[in-house]
Amino acid sequence: MPVDSRSNDVLVIILAYNEEKNVGSVIDDVRKYFCMADILVVDDGSEDNTAGVAVEKGVFFVRHVFNLGIGASLETAFRFACINGYEYIVRMDADGQHRAYCIQDLIGPVKTGEIDIAIGSRFLGKSEFKTSFLRTCGIRLIAAFLRLITGVAITDPTSGFCAMSKKAFLFFADNCADDYPEPEILIYHRDFRIKEIPISIAPRREGVSSITPGKSVYYMYKVMFSILLIRLKSIHWCS
Protein backbone atom coordinates (compact mmCIF):
# COMPACT_ATOMS: atom_id res chain seq x y z
CA MET A 1 0.00 0.00 0.00
CA PRO A 2 2.83 2.50 -0.52
CA VAL A 3 1.87 5.82 -2.13
CA ASP A 4 3.97 8.46 -3.84
CA SER A 5 1.95 11.53 -2.96
CA ARG A 6 2.02 11.83 0.82
CA SER A 7 1.87 15.55 1.57
CA ASN A 8 1.37 15.75 5.34
CA ASP A 9 2.54 14.06 8.53
CA VAL A 10 -1.04 13.47 9.71
CA LEU A 11 -3.33 10.82 8.21
CA VAL A 12 -7.06 11.05 8.89
CA ILE A 13 -8.54 7.55 8.72
CA ILE A 14 -12.24 7.22 7.89
CA LEU A 15 -13.69 3.75 8.47
CA ALA A 16 -16.71 3.04 6.29
CA TYR A 17 -19.24 0.30 5.71
CA ASN A 18 -22.23 1.06 3.45
CA GLU A 19 -21.85 4.82 3.93
CA GLU A 20 -22.21 6.13 0.37
CA LYS A 21 -24.66 8.81 1.56
CA ASN A 22 -22.37 10.13 4.31
CA VAL A 23 -18.71 9.54 3.50
CA GLY A 24 -18.48 12.31 0.89
CA SER A 25 -19.62 15.04 3.27
CA VAL A 26 -17.31 13.68 6.00
CA ILE A 27 -14.36 14.00 3.60
CA ASP A 28 -15.46 17.54 2.72
CA ASP A 29 -15.65 18.48 6.40
CA VAL A 30 -12.16 17.14 7.11
CA ARG A 31 -10.78 19.20 4.23
CA LYS A 32 -12.66 22.26 5.49
CA TYR A 33 -11.68 22.09 9.15
CA PHE A 34 -8.33 20.27 9.04
CA CYS A 35 -6.68 20.66 5.67
CA MET A 36 -3.20 19.81 7.06
CA ALA A 37 -3.81 16.07 6.66
CA ASP A 38 -4.05 13.34 4.09
CA ILE A 39 -7.22 11.23 4.12
CA LEU A 40 -7.60 7.47 3.89
CA VAL A 41 -10.97 5.76 3.52
CA VAL A 42 -11.03 2.08 4.48
CA ASP A 43 -14.10 0.50 2.92
CA ASP A 44 -14.86 -2.71 4.80
CA GLY A 45 -16.55 -4.63 2.00
CA SER A 46 -19.45 -2.23 1.43
CA GLU A 47 -22.32 -3.37 -0.77
CA ASP A 48 -23.19 0.16 -1.90
CA ASN A 49 -21.21 2.89 -3.71
CA THR A 50 -19.00 3.90 -0.77
CA ALA A 51 -15.94 3.01 -2.85
CA GLY A 52 -17.08 5.13 -5.80
CA VAL A 53 -17.63 8.19 -3.61
CA ALA A 54 -14.17 7.86 -2.05
CA VAL A 55 -12.53 7.52 -5.45
CA GLU A 56 -14.48 10.51 -6.77
CA LYS A 57 -13.27 12.62 -3.84
CA GLY A 58 -9.66 11.80 -4.68
CA VAL A 59 -8.59 10.49 -1.26
CA PHE A 60 -6.40 7.49 -0.51
CA PHE A 61 -8.58 4.42 -0.55
CA VAL A 62 -8.37 0.76 0.49
CA ARG A 63 -11.20 -1.71 0.09
CA HIS A 64 -11.70 -5.08 1.73
CA VAL A 65 -13.31 -7.60 -0.61
CA PHE A 66 -15.37 -8.93 2.30
CA ASN A 67 -16.68 -7.34 5.48
CA LEU A 68 -13.95 -8.15 8.01
CA GLY A 69 -14.95 -5.97 10.95
CA ILE A 70 -13.65 -2.87 12.65
CA GLY A 71 -10.49 -4.47 14.02
CA ALA A 72 -9.34 -5.56 10.57
CA SER A 73 -10.19 -2.14 9.15
CA LEU A 74 -8.10 -0.42 11.79
CA GLU A 75 -5.21 -2.81 11.24
CA THR A 76 -5.32 -2.04 7.51
CA ALA A 77 -5.28 1.69 8.25
CA PHE A 78 -2.45 1.46 10.77
CA ARG A 79 -0.33 -0.56 8.36
CA PHE A 80 -1.01 1.98 5.60
CA ALA A 81 0.17 4.76 7.96
CA CYS A 82 3.29 2.79 8.90
CA ILE A 83 4.26 1.91 5.34
CA ASN A 84 3.85 5.49 4.16
CA GLY A 85 5.74 7.15 6.98
CA TYR A 86 3.04 9.15 8.76
CA GLU A 87 3.83 10.51 12.21
CA TYR A 88 0.27 10.85 13.50
CA ILE A 89 -3.17 9.47 12.74
CA VAL A 90 -6.72 10.55 13.52
CA ARG A 91 -9.43 7.91 13.35
CA MET A 92 -13.09 8.78 12.76
CA ASP A 93 -16.24 7.15 11.42
CA ALA A 94 -17.97 7.78 8.09
CA ASP A 95 -21.51 8.35 9.39
CA GLY A 96 -21.01 12.06 10.11
CA GLN A 97 -21.37 11.85 13.89
CA HIS A 98 -17.74 12.70 14.55
CA ARG A 99 -17.28 16.43 13.99
CA ALA A 100 -14.23 17.37 11.93
CA TYR A 101 -13.78 20.67 13.76
CA CYS A 102 -12.79 18.63 16.84
CA ILE A 103 -9.77 17.10 15.08
CA GLN A 104 -7.45 19.93 16.08
CA ASP A 105 -8.37 19.46 19.75
CA LEU A 106 -7.50 15.76 19.52
CA ILE A 107 -4.29 15.97 17.54
CA GLY A 108 -2.88 19.03 19.32
CA PRO A 109 -1.61 17.38 22.53
CA VAL A 110 -0.39 14.35 20.56
CA LYS A 111 1.71 16.49 18.22
CA THR A 112 3.23 18.44 21.11
CA GLY A 113 4.32 15.17 22.73
CA GLU A 114 2.11 15.59 25.80
CA ILE A 115 0.34 12.27 25.19
CA ASP A 116 0.44 9.24 22.88
CA ILE A 117 -3.30 8.69 22.46
CA ALA A 118 -6.13 11.23 22.64
CA ILE A 119 -9.62 9.77 22.99
CA GLY A 120 -12.60 11.94 22.16
CA SER A 121 -15.22 11.77 24.90
CA ARG A 122 -18.81 12.63 24.08
CA PHE A 123 -19.53 12.78 27.82
CA LEU A 124 -17.05 15.57 28.53
CA GLY A 125 -18.10 17.84 25.68
CA LYS A 126 -21.34 19.61 24.82
CA SER A 127 -22.64 17.45 22.02
CA GLU A 128 -25.30 18.43 19.51
CA PHE A 129 -26.71 14.93 19.93
CA LYS A 130 -27.12 12.56 22.86
CA THR A 131 -26.80 8.83 22.37
CA SER A 132 -29.67 6.58 23.45
CA PHE A 133 -30.33 5.87 27.11
CA LEU A 134 -29.64 2.14 26.69
CA ARG A 135 -26.36 2.73 24.89
CA THR A 136 -25.29 5.35 27.45
CA CYS A 137 -25.94 2.88 30.27
CA GLY A 138 -23.93 0.23 28.45
CA ILE A 139 -20.98 2.58 27.90
CA ARG A 140 -20.95 3.60 31.55
CA LEU A 141 -21.13 -0.02 32.68
CA ILE A 142 -18.15 -0.86 30.44
CA ALA A 143 -16.30 2.16 31.87
CA ALA A 144 -16.99 1.01 35.44
CA PHE A 145 -15.89 -2.55 34.63
CA LEU A 146 -12.74 -1.29 32.92
CA ARG A 147 -11.88 0.83 35.97
CA LEU A 148 -12.47 -2.15 38.28
CA ILE A 149 -10.25 -4.46 36.21
CA THR A 150 -7.47 -2.07 35.21
CA GLY A 151 -7.74 1.02 37.39
CA VAL A 152 -8.21 3.21 34.29
CA ALA A 153 -10.82 5.95 34.71
CA ILE A 154 -12.26 6.69 31.26
CA THR A 155 -15.69 8.22 30.61
CA ASP A 156 -16.09 7.03 27.01
CA PRO A 157 -14.27 3.70 26.50
CA THR A 158 -16.10 2.86 23.25
CA SER A 159 -15.28 6.14 21.48
CA GLY A 160 -14.10 5.68 17.91
CA PHE A 161 -12.84 9.26 17.54
CA CYS A 162 -9.18 9.36 18.52
CA ALA A 163 -5.67 10.51 17.60
CA MET A 164 -2.41 8.56 17.99
CA SER A 165 1.30 9.12 17.76
CA LYS A 166 3.49 6.90 15.62
CA LYS A 167 4.62 5.01 18.71
CA ALA A 168 1.01 4.01 19.38
CA PHE A 169 -0.19 3.12 15.90
CA LEU A 170 3.00 1.18 15.16
CA PHE A 171 2.20 -0.99 18.18
CA PHE A 172 -1.47 -1.47 17.32
CA ALA A 173 -0.68 -2.31 13.71
CA ASP A 174 0.43 -5.68 15.14
CA ASN A 175 -1.76 -5.82 18.25
CA CYS A 176 -5.17 -4.57 17.19
CA ALA A 177 -8.16 -6.34 18.73
CA ASP A 178 -10.35 -8.16 16.23
CA ASP A 179 -13.75 -7.09 17.53
CA TYR A 180 -13.52 -4.28 20.07
CA PRO A 181 -10.36 -2.23 19.54
CA GLU A 182 -11.63 0.92 21.30
CA PRO A 183 -11.95 -0.37 24.89
CA GLU A 184 -9.15 -2.90 24.51
CA ILE A 185 -6.67 -0.15 23.61
CA LEU A 186 -7.10 1.04 27.19
CA ILE A 187 -5.68 -2.23 28.51
CA TYR A 188 -2.29 -0.91 27.39
CA HIS A 189 -2.52 2.26 29.51
CA ARG A 190 0.82 1.47 31.17
CA ASP A 191 2.56 1.55 27.79
CA PHE A 192 1.01 4.77 26.47
CA ARG A 193 0.04 8.16 27.83
CA ILE A 194 -3.71 8.37 27.24
CA LYS A 195 -5.97 11.36 27.78
CA GLU A 196 -9.63 12.06 27.07
CA ILE A 197 -10.52 15.22 25.15
CA PRO A 198 -14.03 16.74 25.09
CA ILE A 199 -15.70 16.40 21.70
CA SER A 200 -19.08 17.05 20.15
CA ILE A 201 -21.06 14.48 18.18
CA ALA A 202 -24.01 14.97 15.87
CA PRO A 203 -26.88 12.78 14.69
CA ARG A 204 -26.11 10.34 11.88
CA ARG A 205 -26.64 12.28 8.64
CA GLU A 206 -28.27 9.55 6.55
CA GLY A 207 -29.24 5.93 7.06
CA VAL A 208 -29.48 3.99 10.30
CA SER A 209 -26.90 2.47 12.60
CA SER A 210 -26.28 -1.25 12.35
CA ILE A 211 -26.13 -1.40 16.16
CA THR A 212 -29.63 -2.26 17.36
CA PRO A 213 -30.66 -2.22 21.06
CA GLY A 214 -30.25 -5.99 21.15
CA LYS A 215 -26.81 -5.79 19.60
CA SER A 216 -25.88 -3.07 22.13
CA VAL A 217 -26.54 -5.45 25.03
CA TYR A 218 -24.62 -8.26 23.31
CA TYR A 219 -21.75 -5.87 22.56
CA MET A 220 -21.60 -4.71 26.18
CA TYR A 221 -21.26 -8.19 27.66
CA LYS A 222 -18.85 -9.40 25.00
CA VAL A 223 -16.63 -6.34 25.49
CA MET A 224 -16.47 -6.89 29.24
CA PHE A 225 -15.60 -10.57 28.75
CA SER A 226 -12.89 -9.61 26.26
CA ILE A 227 -11.42 -7.01 28.64
CA LEU A 228 -11.32 -9.59 31.45
CA LEU A 229 -9.71 -12.19 29.19
CA ILE A 230 -6.97 -9.80 28.01
CA ARG A 231 -6.34 -8.68 31.56
CA LEU A 232 -5.95 -12.27 32.76
CA LYS A 233 -3.56 -12.99 29.90
CA SER A 234 -1.46 -9.95 30.76
CA ILE A 235 -1.23 -11.09 34.40
CA HIS A 236 -0.15 -14.55 33.22
CA TRP A 237 2.56 -13.07 30.95
CA CYS A 238 3.91 -10.93 33.78
CA SER A 239 4.02 -13.80 36.31
> φ and ψ at 198, to 5 degrees?
-65, 135
Mind listing the domains of the chain with CATH numbers?
10-238 (3.90.550.10)
Digit-coded pLDDT (tens) for 221-230: 777 777 777 6
Digit-coded pLDDT (tens) for 17-72: 999 999 999 999 999 999 999 999 999 999 999 999 999 999 999 999 999 998 89
Going edge to edge, which strands form the sheet with 38-44?
60-64, 38-44, 10-16, 88-93, 162-165, 117-121, 194-198
| pTM, 2 dp | 0.86
Q: What is the DSSP string of 151-215?
A: ----S-TT---EEEEHHHHHHHHHH--SS-HHHHHGGGTTTS-EEEEE--B---SSS--S--HHH
> Quick one: pLDDT band at residue 236, thresholds 50, 70, 90?
very low
